[in-house]
Amino acid sequence: MITAGIVGISGYSGGKTLELLLRHDQVRVTYVSANNSKGTVADLWPHLRGKTDLVCDTFDADKAAELCDVVFLAVPHTVAMALAPRLLAKSKRVIDLSADYRIDDESLYAKWYGKAHIDEGNLKKAVYGLPELCREKIKDASLIANPGCYPTAALLALAPLVATQTERIQSIIIDAKSGVSGAGKKPSPSVMFTQVNENFMAYKVMTHQHTPEIDQYLTRLAGQKIGVTFVPHLLPVHQGILETIYVSLKPDGNFSTDQINDIYIKFYKKEPFVRVLPPGTQPELKNVRETNYCDIGLVLDQKKNMLVITSAIDNLIKGASGQAVQNMNIMFNFPETKGLIS
Amino acid sequence: MITAGIVGISGYSGGKTLELLLRHDQVRVTYVSANNSKGTVADLWPHLRGKTDLVCDTFDADKAAELCDVVFLAVPHTVAMALAPRLLAKSKRVIDLSADYRIDDESLYAKWYGKAHIDEGNLKKAVYGLPELCREKIKDASLIANPGCYPTAALLALAPLVATQTERIQSIIIDAKSGVSGAGKKPSPSVMFTQVNENFMAYKVMTHQHTPEIDQYLTRLAGQKIGVTFVPHLLPVHQGILETIYVSLKPDGNFSTDQINDIYIKFYKKEPFVRVLPPGTQPELKNVRETNYCDIGLVLDQKKNMLVITSAIDNLIKGASGQAVQNMNIMFNFPETKGLIS
Amino acid sequence: MITAGIVGISGYSGGKTLELLLRHDQVRVTYVSANNSKGTVADLWPHLRGKTDLVCDTFDADKAAELCDVVFLAVPHTVAMALAPRLLAKSKRVIDLSADYRIDDESLYAKWYGKAHIDEGNLKKAVYGLPELCREKIKDASLIANPGCYPTAALLALAPLVATQTERIQSIIIDAKSGVSGAGKKPSPSVMFTQVNENFMAYKVMTHQHTPEIDQYLTRLAGQKIGVTFVPHLLPVHQGILETIYVSLKPDGNFSTDQINDIYIKFYKKEPFVRVLPPGTQPELKNVRETNYCDIGLVLDQKKNMLVITSAIDNLIKGASGQAVQNMNIMFNFPETKGLIS
Amino acid sequence: MITAGIVGISGYSGGKTLELLLRHDQVRVTYVSANNSKGTVADLWPHLRGKTDLVCDTFDADKAAELCDVVFLAVPHTVAMALAPRLLAKSKRVIDLSADYRIDDESLYAKWYGKAHIDEGNLKKAVYGLPELCREKIKDASLIANPGCYPTAALLALAPLVATQTERIQSIIIDAKSGVSGAGKKPSPSVMFTQVNENFMAYKVMTHQHTPEIDQYLTRLAGQKIGVTFVPHLLPVHQGILETIYVSLKPDGNFSTDQINDIYIKFYKKEPFVRVLPPGTQPELKNVRETNYCDIGLVLDQKKNMLVITSAIDNLIKGASGQAVQNMNIMFNFPETKGLIS
């Protein structure tokens, strides 16, 4: 049994992390904080009424460090890098759900997130928390950079191909669609019901801040520079990301659907949370909702040398809180699915 | 051909009034204003791009009076009563979509809307703009109090019964359900997509400000005091109100479904915008969406002396802007359906 | 550890029962059947892919009896009463999610369900599976009549009042709103997306088959005849029921909100799945979604002697499968919340 | 004033065509038919109650020809080609909303629609009814092949580029998303509310039957063979198509956003129904809902030589019935926007 704290429980990823940890029988949540909300958890999250007596506080690093073995940071980008060092300094393990420790190159971080990085020391030590690709390093990490929601779906969809068939890839286009919870809990015109409902649109076309995160890890996997075209869209659903990924392959003529399928099946055969779907089956948001799964579908048009990979995750679970818990399970040597497949 | 102005086009009722008037071949919109938004109509309402070159201004009573024969006030409650007198003083006709001129009794207004009335003179002269009940007075009115959305659906559903069978009515309960546009366009936690979607709840239980408006007009119709129990709910749809109205009848034993149906058919036989549905048919939001219709369904349980009336309107059309245009048509002697059934 | 079977897993309540039992660490699912669907569970319920290898069969009473300690019947009304006797004859315990054993009076059953009852012997022995009201009898029951979704929300909302304040109640009107999954999984025009989405309507006005079930148990609680007015509506959401219940009280003048609240708090104080909300708080579908909770809100208008009770459940969980699992927990002496609050 | 008939009014495109024609002051609808539905229009389309007394019949070519100047065929693919010749033989003008006369090459038709073409004679004479590209031919056409919904959005989005910059285009990928009404009105598991709501998925990945229609007209425009990669998805909305189109450009270095914008503005400057949005603005489904507009957004990434074009239409209006009425307006020399922008 370990103790855990969550900083920023008023947001979706903080609230969902709390919900997951309350179900986890090896974890006791001992500390929760939210800057703008005092009061009980039930005030913030009425669906949790009766499940916990925790009272929410403004952030206090000393208190968090005293009460917790591990602290989840579910605060906005550019805030986390101010809090993490204070917890790490007290030898606490930190899982950061923000983007602050995901981008190796500080100038790239500054460019995409609009602020200079202020914790370069820990940035170097942070481990990217995508278990399917980085499990060994996660085990001993003191600071986890929990992946972005779009990058999680993209990297799991592309990893087997990029890692094993680099030379065959000509270009990658990612057409991504996300539910509204990905935009956070703060009221604004763009996330009102009357704006989103019965609507659909692209946004940040080729300028979304998750693009360099995807590029960086694909490049690492490939051992050579890879850059994607990335266009996100806003879906009128609460939760879920579906990405339709167009991989233009070099016309070498002898690559079959079966071969590609085998590559994926083999790559993920021991993974509890990746489901490579049978040929002819497409991922659907509803099949991954409230789960930590990533479902992957594969269709190859041999004549056009075009491979279409579709991947679906729940942006709040595998794309944020579920993956954070999965990382915690690995860090503390719990069964990896604990609290996630019950 | 007349000229019209709309004050407050950034809100839903202002925007929809503009949209309707742009389709009306006897009206030219010559003035639009919005306090917080400058710029073109297309900036505020991108779906109207290409349909008008109107530029939005902050409110200027002189300019509005100079440019318009009739002005629609689509501003918040308590604001309209400060603007209307300035337009009326210049002999302009005013259609107020707010609640400011609907409640005869100023103390009741103050109690439910939280502010003392500041234009009692015009309040006495205002005509309630429910054409099916007040058509004759509307013709010559200079100031129209355009009815609330909930009261429109309630009064049209109850009028035939209350006007002709007063002595048979024992009690009236109105269970109302409204789409989210009824809550206006201002961002707040309660109207975010992630809050409303896949959700449903009651609000302002027996404390909604439309209650005294319903009571006042039923009382007027009945010629004796009538009070209703009113509970509104928030539906996860953009537009539409459905009210399920429970009328407990006195047990006098000889009142049949056919009789009730006949009363309604007769009462509304010349009305272009009220459809009394055939027995066995229920109103549905989708059948009145983007129309000025009110659909009414009637079911009587003779053994229980319980009559269930269901009525459906589009809260933005018959519940606000469409009814405002209908009132304008009557005031200016246009065919009543002009611009509304095209 | 016990073994369980589910008959009818292709429907929503069967599928959800399976999903819940797969998470229950004291139960092994050993048998599943579905008449029209052969193949794996993942073929029917792709979201369960990877969680079970169970293969679906057509119903075989001998096999079910041989493999299971308890069998859940999630088949249509009028089908269950043909299957239950065959399992009971082999001393298996049966939890029937259909309506077949809920109505004591066979002539009433025949009237509302359109078919004569064919298992009167077991009908007499069946125990109504609403744990909050019938827990002691459930412990030793061999046949559970799992309550209907609407009756569950209605009875939990009304029980404290009806059981303790019978003489004060004048009339009860239930305005119920349900998500679409309540209509089952069979395609038909009335449950298509294009029909339901952005729509809302009443149906079976004062003629819904759950009415006699509600009447019967309220009458039992009150010790005197009680009959309700019941009108259901179809909400454009997947899951959830919210009922707005109007209780007209006798005008005896001295009944306060606090008193009513105390009655409810006291009545349910040991119940793990009923949450009486703090005054001023309303139940919302989203707070009970995918949970076994029933949330209850209370508002009294003392001047009108009108009590408005709102109750919310998930129709698939507390209204069907969750309650069935709760009943199983009681029958087999497991902690009552096992598999339901994890 | 002309007379018009609609064959197949029980489907979405037939029903919407009727709704549009009832608003058109130069057209009288004199004939409607539907094979499986007798009775009044209000039985089929309750929202049209009170707007027409037309009674629906089974198809009778003689009667249709006798009563109508123009007949709209809103019947399934492979059915239209059996009906059209009978009307054309009587010198009636026909607007076919099915796919039967869109594909020049009969073998291609047979391959994608699963049936040999049976009316090759008229196939040769049919005019593709995309007014923005084929207006002159439409004027005198006796048979219009009304474009498919996906091709309409794709061709309008691509025409200016393909027609003027053919040599710069390297590849075209169309990621399309459609509302559920595109799937028709027939109940099936894939279009149930409980399947579609809160869900999203790709379907017919690179195998959708609209692909050859897109290829054929792009090829015609370019004067050289063009083939696209096309992947459709099902959106949880009633109406609307948004396509995100990735055009990989040849790296010739001197093509700016302004240039592309100018090309589009110029190409469509006289078109009443195409809106090229200002730079930085994205099309949204809600802005074209219930309109005949096609909104187009353009974003160029010069470093990657990637142009992302987004286009939005209402699949039922510009993607079917609205375009059919636009074609009728052209054929009968009415103002082109008649009945469509009112």
Looking up tokens 């609209």, which residue turns up? D210
Q: How far is D313 from chain B (nearest CA, A)?
A: 12
In degrees and rounded to multiples of 5, residue C221 shows phi and psi of -65, -40
Out of D191, D198, D237, the one facing C192 most closely (by C-beta) is D191
Q: How far is C31 from chain A (nearest CA, A)?
A: 20
Contact B5, B30 (CB under 8 A): yes
pLDDT digits (tens, 9 = 90+) for B18-60: 999 999 999 999 999 998 777 899 999 999 999 999 999 899 9
Contact A247, A304 (CB under 8 A): no
The residue in chain B having the minimum alpha-carbon distance to the alpha carbon of residue D283 is B46
Distance in angstroms (rounded) separating the CA atoms of residues A26 and A11: 24
Within 8 A of A153 by CB-CB distance, chain D residues are none
Out of C202, C229, C240, the one facing B310 most closely (by C-beta) is C202
Out of B185, B187, B197, the one facing A197 most closely (by C-beta) is B197
Out of A201, A304, A310, the one facing D229 most closely (by C-beta) is A304
Tokens (6 digits) for B194: 């992630």
Out of C195, C198, C238, the one facing D194 most closely (by C-beta) is C238
Kindly indicate whether the domain formed by D2-125 is annotated with CATH number 3.40.50.720.
yes
Contact B142, B94 (CB under 8 A): yes
Residue A342 has pLDDT above 80, yes or no: no
Q: Where are the alpha helices (DSSP H) in chain D?
A: 12-22, 41-44, 61-67, 80-88, 106-113, 120-125, 131-139, 149-164, 193-196, 211-222, 257-267, 285-288, 322-331
Tell me whether residues C187 and D187 touch, CB distance under 8 A.
Answer: yes
Within 8 A of D312 by CB-CB distance, chain A residues are 201
Kindly state whether D242 is in contact with chain A, defined as any CB-CB distance less than 8 angstroms: yes
Kindly state whether B194 is in contact with chain A, defined as any CB-CB distance less than 8 angstroms: yes
Provide the pLDDT confidence category of residue B323 given band limits of 50, 70 and 90: very high
pLDDT digits (tens, 9 = 90+) for D130-187: 999 999 999 999 999 999 999 999 999 999 999 999 999 999 999 999 999 999 889 9
Q: Reduced to 3 states, what is the DSSP secondary structure of residue B283?
A: coil
Kindly state whether D189 is in contact with chain C, defined as any CB-CB distance less than 8 angstroms: yes
H helix or E strand, kind and range, residue B181: none
pLDDT digits (tens, 9 = 90+) for B121-163: 999 999 999 999 999 999 999 999 999 999 999 999 999 999 9
Kindly indicate whether the domain formed by D150-315 is annotated with CATH number 3.30.360.10.
yes
Within 8 A of C193 by CB-CB distance, chain D residues are 180, 191-193, 195-197, 236, 238
Q: In one letter, which amino acid is B62?
A: D
Out of C173, C285, C306, the one facing B199 most closely (by C-beta) is C285
Q: How far is A121 from chain C (nearest CA, A)?
A: 39
Given this model, what pLDDT does residue B148 score?
98
Distance in angstroms (rounded) separating the CA atoms of residues C282 and C279: 8
Q: How many Cβ pairs within 8 Å bridge chains A and D?
A: 128
Provide the pLDDT confidence category of residue A253 given band limits of 50, 70 and 90: low
Question: Percent of chain B at pLDDT above 70?
Answer: 99
pLDDT digits (tens, 9 = 90+) for D286-303: 999 999 999 999 999 999
Residue D253 has pLDDT above 70, yes or no: no
Among this protein's residues, is A149 annotated catalytic? Answer: yes
pLDDT digits (tens, 9 = 90+) for A177-194: 999 999 988 999 999 999
pLDDT digits (tens, 9 = 90+) for A45-80: 999 999 999 999 899 999 999 999 999 999 999 999
Tell me whether residues D46 and B287 touch, CB distance under 8 A.
Answer: yes
β pairing state of D93-96 and A229-234: unpaired
Tell me whether residues C49 and A275 touch, CB distance under 8 A.
Answer: yes
Q: What is the ipTM of this complex?
A: 0.97
Given this model, what pLDDT does residue A90 score?
97
Q: Where are the alpha helices (DSSP H) in B165-200?
A: 193-196
**Annotated catalytic residue, options B68, B134, B149, B294:** B149
Given this model, what pLDDT does residue B253 score?
63
Mean pLDDT for chain D overall: 96
In degrees and rounded to multiples of 5, residue B98 shows phi and psi of -85, -175
Q: In Å, how far are A86, B300, C49, C176 from C206, measured between CA atoms?
A: 64, 9, 42, 11
On the CB side of C226, CA atoms within 13 Å amount to: 30
Q: Could you state, in order of their start, the residue ranges of all structural domains in chain C?
A: 2-125, 150-315
Tell me whether residues A284 and C46 touch, CB distance under 8 A.
Answer: yes
Q: What is the DSSP annotation of B70-120?
A: EEEE---TTTHHHHHHHHHTTT-EEEE-SSTTT-S-HHHHHHHHSS--S-H
On the CB side of D86, CA atoms within 13 Å amount to: 15
Provide the pLDDT confidence category of residue D255 given band limits of 50, 70 and 90: confident
The residue in chain A having the minimum alpha-carbon distance to the alpha carbon of residue C46 is A287
Kindly state whether C185 is in contact with chain A, defined as any CB-CB distance less than 8 angstroms: no
pLDDT digits (tens, 9 = 90+) for D300-322: 999 999 999 999 999 999 999 99
**Chains touching A by CB (3 or more pairs below 8 Å):** B, C, D
Q: What is the DSSP annotation of C16-50?
A: HHHHHHHT-TTEEEEEEE-SS--EEHHHH-GGGTT
pLDDT digits (tens, 9 = 90+) for B277-310: 999 999 999 999 999 999 999 999 999 999 999 9
Distance in angstroms (rounded) separating the CA atoms of residues D286 and C66: 57
Kindly state whether D194 is in contact with chain C, defined as any CB-CB distance less than 8 angstroms: yes
Tell me whether residues B50 and D293 touch, CB distance under 8 A.
Answer: yes
Tell me whether residues B289 and C246 touch, CB distance under 8 A.
Answer: no
The residue in chain A having the minimum alpha-carbon distance to the alpha carbon of residue C289 is A47
Q: How far is D243 from chain B (nearest CA, A)?
A: 18
pLDDT in tens, chain C (342 residues): 999 999 999 999 999 999 999 999 999 999 999 987 778 999 999 999 999 999 998 999 999 999 999 999 999 999 999 999 999 999 999 999 999 999 999 999 999 999 999 999 999 999 999 999 999 999 999 999 999 999 999 999 999 999 999 999 999 999 999 999 999 889 999 999 999 999 999 999 999 999 999 999 999 999 999 999 999 999 999 999 999 999 999 987 678 889 999 999 999 999 999 999 999 999 999 999 999 999 999 999 999 999 999 999 999 999 999 999 999 999 999 999 999 975
Kindly state whether A238 is in contact with chain B, defined as any CB-CB distance less than 8 angstroms: yes
pLDDT digits (tens, 9 = 90+) for C210-248: 999 999 999 999 999 999 999 999 999 999 999 999 999
Tell me whether residues D282 and A201 touch, CB distance under 8 A.
Answer: yes
CB-count burial class (<10 Å; 0-12, 13-18, 19+) for B26: middle
Contact A63, A42 (CB under 8 A): no
The residue in chain D having the minimum alpha-carbon distance to the alpha carbon of residue C181 is D194
Distance in angstroms (rounded) separating the CA atoms of residues B39 and A242: 37
Given this model, what pLDDT does residue B35 score?
80
Tokens (6 digits) for C210: 């759950």
Tell me whether residues B288 and D47 touch, CB distance under 8 A.
Answer: yes
Kindly state whether B342 is in contact with chain D, defined as any CB-CB distance less than 8 angstroms: yes
Distance in angstroms (rounded) separating the CA atoms of residues B14 and A98: 41
**Chains touching B by CB (3 or more pairs below 8 Å):** A, C, D
Given this model, what pLDDT does residue B36 score?
75
The residue in chain C having the minimum alpha-carbon distance to the alpha carbon of residue D193 is C193
Out of A12, A194, A236, the one facing B185 most closely (by C-beta) is A194
Within 8 A of B268 by CB-CB distance, chain D residues are none
Mean pLDDT of B199-218: 98
Distance in angstroms (rounded) separating the CA atoms of residues C182 and C207: 17
Tokens (6 digits) for C199: 């729509």
Mean pLDDT of A15-23: 97
Q: How many Cβ pairs within 8 Å bridge chains B and D?
A: 34
Tell me whether residues B187 and A188 touch, CB distance under 8 A.
Answer: yes
Distance in angstroms (rounded) separating the CA atoms of residues C10 and C33: 8
Given this model, what pLDDT does residue B132 score?
98
In degrees and rounded to multiples of 5, residue A281 shows phi and psi of -110, 135
pLDDT digits (tens, 9 = 90+) for A131-147: 999 999 999 999 999 99
Given this model, what pLDDT does residue D299 score?
97
Given this model, what pLDDT does residue A57 score?
87
**Chains touching D by CB (3 or more pairs below 8 Å):** A, B, C
Give residues 260 to 289 of D whose Cβ lies within 8 Å of A. Answer: 282-286, 289
Given this model, what pLDDT does residue C253 score?
63
Kindly state whether D46 is in contact with chain B, defined as any CB-CB distance less than 8 angstroms: yes
Residue B257 has pLDDT above 90, yes or no: no
Out of A193, A198, A236, the one facing B191 most closely (by C-beta) is A193
Q: Is the dihedral of CA D115, D119, D123, D129 positive or negative?
A: negative
The residue in chain C having the minimum alpha-carbon distance to the alpha carbon of residue A22 is C342
Q: How far is B101 from chain D (nearest CA, A)?
A: 32
Q: How far is C271 from chain D (nearest CA, A)?
A: 31
Q: How far is C28 from chain D (nearest CA, A)?
A: 28
- Tell me which DSSP letter residue A224 carries: S
